[in-house]
Amino acid sequence: MEILQPPGWPRPRGYSNGVAASGRMVCVSGMVGWNAQCEFETDDFAAQARQALEHVVAVLAEADAKPEHIVRMTWYVVDKREYLAAAKDIGQAYRDIIGRHYPAMTAVQVTALIEDRARVEIEVTAVVPEAAAR
């Protein structure tokens, strides 16, 4: 995996401008912050983000992929102010679950998510190097 950082550009904080990778692609659909029984336990943004990230890692594990194989991540949020206000707690959850690996990342505010109580939905693409693939 190669982080793409054009010369002279300031290094982004918490994400990368681009990533190049080759290997087995793993696509994870949008994960929301409910439990394994599809029930929301909280409406707290950071707690839902933590749960969604845990789901991402669980799905990746099914393909023998790890957080460090993530090359792209998209966050869909229903309220950007809520997202920004929870930034510190989201950052802690991210580091606890994903580590200090920062793929190409986008956050988009949307009017709503399909699950009414969902505050965030996280979609991921990972690339597992051939040597690490099954």
For the chain of 134 residues, list the mean pLDDT of each consecutive stretch of 10. 93 91 96 96 98 98 97 98 98 97 96 97 96 58
CATH number of the domain residue 24 falls in:
3.30.1330.40
Phi and psi angles of residue 84, each rounded to the nearest 5 degrees, phi first: -65, -40
Give me the domain span that covers residue 110.
15-128
What pLDDT is stored for residue 131 in this prediction? 74
User: Do the domain assignments include residue 6?
Assistant: no
What is the DSSP secondary structure assignment for residue 16, as one 8-state letter? B
Report how many domains make up the chain: 1
User: Do the domain assignments include residue 124?
Assistant: yes
User: Do the domain assignments include residue 133?
Assistant: no
Question: Which pTM value belongs to this model?
Answer: 0.91
User: Do the domain assignments include residue 118?
Assistant: yes
What pLDDT is stored for residue 30 in this prediction? 97
User: Do the domain assignments include residue 35?
Assistant: yes
User: Do the domain assignments include residue 4?
Assistant: no
Exposed, middle or buried, 78 (CB in 10 Å: 0-12/13-18/19+)? middle
User: Do the domain assignments include residue 3?
Assistant: no
Inter-residue contact 118 to 78 (CB < 8 Å): yes
What pLDDT is stored for residue 132 in this prediction? 57
User: Do the domain assignments include residue 24?
Assistant: yes
